[in-house]
Structure 1
Amino acid sequence: MFKKSFYYLWGSQALSNTVDVFYLVALMTFVLSTTNSIMFATLVPFIRVTAQLASGFLAPLMVANYRLPFLLTISQSGQFLLFSLLAFYLSPWIGGNSFLLIYGIIACISFLDGWTTPARNALVPRLVSDEVLMKANGMVATTDQVVQFAGWALSGLMVAKLGAFPVLVIVAAGYGIAMLVTFWIEDPLEPPRRGIWDRRTASKQGYMALKEAQTASDPSSEIKSPTRWDTLKEGWVLIWKSPRLRALTVMDVTDMFGGSVWAGAFMLVFVKEVLLKDEQWWGYINASYFAGAVIGGLLVVAFVGRLEKRIFAAMLAGMLGYALLTTLFAVNSYAPLALLLVLLTGPMTELAAVSRRTLIQRSASKERLPQIFSAQATLLNTVFGISLLAMSGIAEWLGIVNMYLFAAGITLLAICTGIVNRSSFRKEVHIVEP
């Protein structure tokens, strides 16, 4: 069963992710046209990722003290206000050109966005019944891929036709609508909100009430609350103490380390050096990759009933299929076949990713999922950044073909991790509290 709040969450995040793509393209276009510097333009996504990483470190403090819908509302409201300010500053009427201010606003917007994905992933199992959880994850994953697939192409066309500033206005309006939708999201694990700014979690409110009552009856007594350090490390401790969560996290991290090979720059080198084609074919392969991911998400939703019965096997099958297809892609030099292979990796990638996310959501209590997803998001973002540097070195020293073969080998290591820890997936795993 899907609660109404799930559709509000799904819609608001889909819209927010769409305008995120629009604003990245519009801002990079604006910076590039203003400075004629590729370095200044690439600072936009770099600052974004860095700010999100910093936000991820602090996310456990936020999710421990504040309701998840409130965090989403604050995030969307802050992004709407900041981006409106940025659009006005860059408008023809003001003509702002201080890149220090522009980058500062981008950092603040990205910081606010840093806790939305952990909050969303933790909210999904609260807003749907367990029997449709995998279907819900498939729906969210498909939407994410549609946004990536259509967003980059559409935003480029819009910037080319309308110019950067009109697109920025559209982005600000999109953030505003996403902000309004979050007002209707309710967390079933929390008492109904008395208002938009009813922000504290029930556990936090209970602790504060207990502390006040205890202090009134016995001023010398003291009820100790978890320190900030305890809160920050809680998600990491939960992951470490649960064999299933630990295995899934290692698999996620290992897979992420190899997943960076599909970044645009690597594929461009492969197209030119191996397929002996130009940038046009690079665009075809990018489109094929995202189209495959969209098809994969739709297939997961369509066959969710069968996949649910063998979700662990489905996860391993998806990863194995991805590794084999990546290997074939690496050793192939025929361009049309490369398009087909990239298209087929999409269903395998989505099958593995949706299965893993569903298993993670079922491996801990719903109250602890925000802390767990916050820790994982921080870890995965860090690993992705390291992976880009490492894969660049491998491509430089060993060649682009060996880089893709290396990535396929890394996925096989992730599969081995799952097989070695398969016993933890055959039983319900109790999460030991820190």
Structure 2
Amino acid sequence: MFKRSFYYLWGSQTLSNTVDVLYLVALTTFILDRTGSVVFATLVPFLRVTSQLFSGLIAPLMVDRYRLPFLLTVSQCGQFILFVLLAGYLSPWVGGEQILPVYTIIICISFLDGWTTPARNALVPRLVADQALMKANGIVATTDQIVQFAGWAISGVLVAAFGSFPVLVVVAVGYGLAMAVTLLIEDPTEPKRRSVWDVRTGRDQVDRTKGIGELDEGAGEAEIKLPSRWDTLKEGWVALWKSPRLRSLTLMDMTDMLGGSVWVGAFMLVFVNEILLKDEQWWGYINASYFAGAVIGGLLVVALVERLEKRIFAVMLLGMLGYAVLTVWFALNDFAPLALLIVLLTGPFTELAAVSRRTLIQRSASPELLPKVFSAQSTLLNTVFGLSLLFMSGMAEWFGIVNMYLFAAAISVIAAGVGWLNRRAFVVAEQGSNEGVAE
């Protein structure tokens, strides 16, 4: 059910995600030490998300011309080189003190990283049998959460013990290893590579050959009916709008993302201080409980996948509604130990909803179109997340932190309502069928 290349993909992405957490902590710590400013430190995630947003906009041009494993390799190779440069700049021998070069490298790294998630999510259904797709997504999601859960704690200890420079050296080595593993991935939907330099997609090779043939035959100006760059860029967006199922899933994802930002550390810290009347230590406990719950949720999805597959649409709605109920409970509770339990319980419901949605998206477009769909969706979600941070900050400031969480719960109910109103689009999926975007 799982091709060997899936394990290579899973391993390389787990390794790169792990060192990704290390570099974020190392650079945030470095900038905070140099400037003493929280604003300058928070520019790290802001620049990262903004750069990934612009990367997602041009990603369709890349996935139309180059094989997905090659794009992953280029991304990791570029990040490896940039981290070597960054580590050299911050090394004791150079002793770089200016933060502008650091911000510039962060922008470049994040731009390359913007291709990674769409390419990975589009590759997974190509590397596993359809009946194993939800299980594969559960495995990937669980690993992602474990990396987040353990990575932040371990990276903080490493940076405190050794400093930013040694950690960045480890990051560079990690990206080098991830790049080497990615070279082993073979995309079964593409013709077998004739050499390591055979990086064009089969579709692009056909288009180029067709164009050359028309030029040979033509007298004067030849009509080469190849898709324009604009057509390529908008293809994924058009699919999101025209396919009822993709449109519904994207609206649900966007609505859910609008409320999902309330679990960002700053909001949780305010809740812990003002409502639970606890210090930063309890903030750490709640963060750990949140990630632990997500890991448990991913493991449950993997363990119960055969039962969940039969009712994937219902499972998705259950996950969203369960999450909404627990968010309300969390907002109205002021007993710290109970808050830990509530946050732990949100994990399984969150993972049920997220894995189900990802699986349904992967089954709702052709293999050729799927990378562009994920690129368009990634751009939308990054934009919504950024706007959500600003919107929820205003909510917390004007109406209080409790009302902000209650509002987030209401948004999740609305997201589930969007799915229910469009349930006819999911009938085929409920029967385990694979629908392409034919519109």
TM range (shorter): over 0.9
What is the match of residue 20 of structure 1? 20
Distance between the aligned counterparts of 1:302 and 1:183, measured in 2? 31
* SS in structure 2 at match of 1:426: helix
Deviations 1:155-203 (A, max 9, x none): 0000111111111110010010001011001111101122233221101
What is the match of residue 222 of structure 1? 223
Superposition pairs of residues 23-38 of structure 1, within 5 angstroms: 23-38=23-38
Distance between the aligned counterparts of 1:75 and 1:246, measured in 2? 29
Distance between the aligned counterparts of 1:232 and 1:331, measured in 2? 45
Superposition pairs of residues 5-404 of structure 1, within 5 angstroms: 5-220=5-220, 221-404=222-405
Task: Please give the TM-score of this superposition, normalised by the length of structure 1.
Answer: 0.98
* 2:356 alignment partner AA: S
What is the match of residue 411 of structure 2? 410
State the Cα distance separating 1:430 from its structure 2 match.
Answer: 4.9
Deviations 1:120-139 (A, max 9, x none): 00000000000100000000
CA distance 1:430–1:120, change in 2 (3 Å): closer
Distance between the aligned counterparts of 1:364 and 1:34, measured in 2? 48
Distance between the aligned counterparts of 1:341 and 1:267, measured in 2? 13
Deviations 1:231-261 (A, max 9, x none): 1111010111111111011000000000000
Distance between the aligned counterparts of 1:45 and 1:414, measured in 2? 26
Distance between the aligned counterparts of 1:74 and 1:185, measured in 2? 13
CA distance 1:93–1:407, change in 2 (3 Å): same
* 1:250 alignment partner AA: L
Deviations 1:89-109 (A, max 9, x none): 110011122322111111111
* 1:266 alignment partner AA: F
Listed as ranges, the gaps of 5+ residues in structure 2 are none
Distance between the aligned counterparts of 1:279 and 1:345, measured in 2? 21
* SS in structure 2 at match of 1:365: coil
The reply on whether 1:432 has 2:433 as its aligned counterpart is: no
State the Cα distance separating 1:219 from its structure 2 match.
Answer: 4.0
Task: Please give the TM-score of this superposition, normalised by the length of structure 2.
Answer: 0.97
Distance between the aligned counterparts of 1:328 and 1:2, measured in 2? 40
State the Cα distance separating 1:229 from its structure 2 match.
Answer: 1.2
State the Cα distance separating 1:318 from its structure 2 match.
Answer: 0.6
State the Cα distance separating 1:28 from its structure 2 match.
Answer: 1.1
* SS in structure 1 at match of 2:96: coil
* 2:293 alignment partner AA: G
State the Cα distance separating 1:37 from its structure 2 match.
Answer: 2.0
Distance between the aligned counterparts of 2:41 and 2:418, measured in 1? 39
Q: Percent identity?
A: 72
CA contact (8 A) 2:363 2:436 kept: no
* 2:264 alignment partner AA: A
CA contact (8 A) 2:211 2:226 kept: no
Distance between the aligned counterparts of 1:274 and 1:60, measured in 2? 45
* SS in structure 1 at match of 2:187: coil
Kindly tell me the number of residue pairs found equivalent between the two proteins: 433
Distance between the aligned counterparts of 1:271 and 1:9, measured in 2? 38
Listed as ranges, the gaps of 5+ residues in structure 1 are none
* SS in structure 2 at match of 1:187: coil
Distance between the aligned counterparts of 2:261 and 2:196, measured in 1? 39
Deviations 1:47-72 (A, max 9, x none): 11111111011111111111101100
Distance between the aligned counterparts of 2:99 and 2:270, measured in 1? 31
CA contact (8 A) 1:239 1:245 kept: yes
Distance between the aligned counterparts of 2:204 and 2:197, measured in 1? 15
Deviations 1:318-347 (A, max 9, x none): 111100000000001111110000000000
CA contact (8 A) 1:128 1:136 kept: yes
* 1:251 alignment partner AA: M
* 1:274 alignment partner AA: I
